[in-house]
Structure 1
Amino acid sequence: MPKLSYAKALNRALSDEMARDPSVFVMGEDIHLALTQTTTGLLDRFGPQRVVQTPLSEQGFTNFATGAAMAGRRPVVEYQIPFLLLLVIEQIANQANKFALMSGGQTRVPVTYLLPGTGWRPGWGAQHSDQPYSVFAHLGVKTVIPATPTDAYGLLTTAIRDDDPVMVFAPMPALGIREDVDYADLAPIPLGVGLVRRAGTDVTVVAVGHLVHDALAVAEELAGEVSVEVFDPRSLYPFDWAGLAASLERTGRLVVFDDSNRSCGLAGEILATAAEEMRLDAAPKRVTRPDGAVVIGCAPGLDLAVQPSRAQLTNAIRAVLKS
């Protein structure tokens, strides 16, 4: 069975959707060079009319994508680094994401915003190390963060076919992950449907993005001590609250493992909703970056120290079991 890498899965999804639907095209800065490897080979196959290299004007080409979508195209906009999204929140959240409502459903804006390298890696720097997915989920923009190559393919495919704007965050630490696949089994994955990656009975760990793999490793290490269920939401907005509630009915305890800042982050929302609406037999815990972590991103040693770790997750699991 062939192995599929995360980056290749994104590339394959783009290629398959461009071949299936001539209205799909990709655009971004230096996209002809395929610096992130997600657009490798697309220029040769589809030409410069459908693989569009943009000027260094994020606000300009993001609005261009909105107009193209309103005119019947399905653009995929690639942003190489996450801080660029902070320049275009207005264009995405306040314009593209509201046109359908403002037009009474007469106008759809099927744009996919692809971030093929979000989050931390050594030496990535303060301005490149953000995980801003919770911002867009908060603003009501459909947001997904695949953990595996199969999910990267399936969720990106679904995003491209969706008639609304969709954010696709591909975490930097996940890009090298490979898995055995049967290419015939690759298929779209619905938004808002989470997945239990490992069944358990004592505690539910909700792990976001690449941290799914760390959570599975911790669950295996603690197997003789505690039965850990690992829940991967896959889609952050809409979120699979029913799937999480079903998991907590089995375990009654909750830890959230999230690579974004603590205050006003996704982990806090998951804990709050679980506390309001679901079965909890003990106070829940969250393992995240500390507040303001990104401001030290230029110091690699300090940057590494603020990343949520397996050791922190282990301690949190043990703490909820004692409470």
Structure 2
Amino acid sequence: MAKKSFRQALNDALHSEMARDPRVIMMGEDLTGGAGANGVKDAWGGPFGVTRGLLGAFGPDRVRDTPISEAAFIGAAAGAALTGLRPIAEIMFVDFAGVCLDQIMNQAAKFRYMFGGRAKTPLVIRATYGAGSRSGSQHTQALHAIFTHIPGLKVVIPSNPYDAKGLLLQAIRDDDPVIFLEHKMLYDTVGEVPDASYTIPFGEARVVRDGKDVVIIAVGRMVSVAEDAARSLAAEGISASIVDPRTTSPLDEDTLVEVTEKIGRVVIVDEGNPRCGVAADISALLADQCFDALKAPIKLVTAPHTPVPYAPNLEDAYVPTPDAVIKAVKSIVKR
């Protein structure tokens, strides 16, 4: 199996699905070099290099640069989905979704419901998220909890190259609007990715590692943080299981409940802020469904309830670390 980066895995998925289905189009800012730009088109392949080669393969009618107006092109993409196209719209940073939240929350997410199930909205909105790139407070937030809260949206957060390709292919083929979130710090990570097309169903968590003392539920980039912590814990004789939900809506409640009832100790790791966040939501679910099986309080490891700092040392302190996970695990395993 070929070794590919997270970025290459996404590019594979986009290329193969556009080749398979002529209804798939792309739109966003700087996908091919910028609307009206005089430079070499497709010299980079979008702001993060994910769309390289697509313009040459499929042309400007299917790979479109847009003006800097998220409200305009997300609204256009939602309308295009209603007419039978399968648009993929890229918001450069998920932080910019505030500009087009009406188009996402009050339009795309509601079409199927408002039209009695007769309307399909096969729209994928790709966006980057997450801290670590020294990009400032307005370009580094983890806002997946906001979209998870909105009925009618599916929310996908891959943690590795293999899942990135399979989940994106599934998202493009889905008939409902999908928010597909890519952590900027994962683009250069490498893993085994098949050249062939494959899909990963939504709502099916991945058991990353089996253990018997504690289960660590980790979202997105935090899966690798949890893996680092688990290796250190293993050296100290503590066996940790790791579960990656992959999607927060739909959420694989059955798997989360099953591993919690089996092990009885839970740490949830998420880069999102703690108040009304995904970690808090999963914690509430498990406290309700697994109360009698719990051997200790559920512990949350999240970013603090502050904006993302710009200063490098403060940004590093903001992001959950393996040491923070290890501390949380030990606080409940050794009770």
TM-score (normalised: structure 1): 0.96
Distance in 1 (CA, whole Å) between partners of 2:135 and 2:16 is: 31
Identity of aligned residues (%): 40
Deviations along 1:56-97, one digit per CA (max 9) or x if unpaired, are 111011110011000000000011112111111111111101
Q: 2:255 aligns with which of 240, 243, 249?
A: 243
SS in 1 for 2:234: coil
- 2:302 corresponds to: 288
Is the Cα contact below 8 Å between 2:161 and 2:192 reproduced in 1?
no
- 2:213 corresponds to: 202
The one-letter amino acid of 1:81's match is F
Deviations along 1:285-311, one digit per CA (max 9) or x if unpaired, are 0000010233xx232221221111111
Is the Cα contact below 8 Å between 2:122 and 2:173 reproduced in 1?
yes
Is the Cα contact below 8 Å between 1:233 and 1:240 reproduced in 2?
yes
The one-letter amino acid of 2:12's match is R
Is the Cα contact below 8 Å between 1:206 and 1:230 reproduced in 2?
yes
1:192 aligns with 2:206: no
Distance in 2 (CA, whole Å) between partners of 1:181 and 1:41 is: 19
- 1:29 corresponds to: 29
SS in 2 for 1:72: coil
Distance in 2 (CA, whole Å) between partners of 1:222 and 1:302 is: 26
Q: 1:133 aligns with which of 127, 138, 144?
A: 144
Query: Deviation of residue 110 (structure 1)?
Result: 0.8
In the TM superposition, 1:15-164 aligns within 5 A as 15-33=15-33, 34=45, 35-115=47-127, 117-140=128-151, 141-164=153-176
Please report the RMSD computed on the Cα atoms of aligned residues, expressed in angstroms. Answer: 1.1
The one-letter amino acid of 2:307's match is A
The one-letter amino acid of 1:194's match is A
Q: 1:211 aligns with which of 196, 218, 222?
A: 222
Deviations along 1:260-281, one digit per CA (max 9) or x if unpaired, are 1111111001111100012322
Query: Deviation of residue 212 (structure 1)?
Result: 0.6
Is the Cα contact below 8 Å between 1:205 and 1:231 reproduced in 2?
yes
Is the Cα contact below 8 Å between 2:82 and 2:119 reproduced in 1?
yes
SS in 2 for 1:168: strand
Deviations along 1:144-199, one digit per CA (max 9) or x if unpaired, are 10001110001111111110000000111111110123323x51100000010000
Distance in 2 (CA, whole Å) between partners of 1:86 and 1:76 is: 18
The one-letter amino acid of 1:47's match is G
TM-score (normalised: structure 2): 0.93
- 2:317 corresponds to: 305
- 1:265 corresponds to: 277
Q: 1:177 aligns with which of 164, 183, 189?
A: 189
Instruction: Judge which range, 192-201 or 271-280, deviates more.
Output: 271-280
Distance in 1 (CA, whole Å) between partners of 2:207 and 2:302 is: 21
- The gaps in structure 1 that reach 5 residues or longer are none
Distance in 2 (CA, whole Å) between partners of 1:175 and 1:240 is: 25
In the TM superposition, 1:219-258 aligns within 5 A as 219-224=230-235, 225-258=237-270
The one-letter amino acid of 1:22's match is P
Is the Cα contact below 8 Å between 1:122 and 1:304 reproduced in 2?
no
- Report the number of matched residues: 319
The one-letter amino acid of 1:198's match is R
The one-letter amino acid of 2:250's match is P
SS in 1 for 2:204: coil
SS in 2 for 1:170: strand
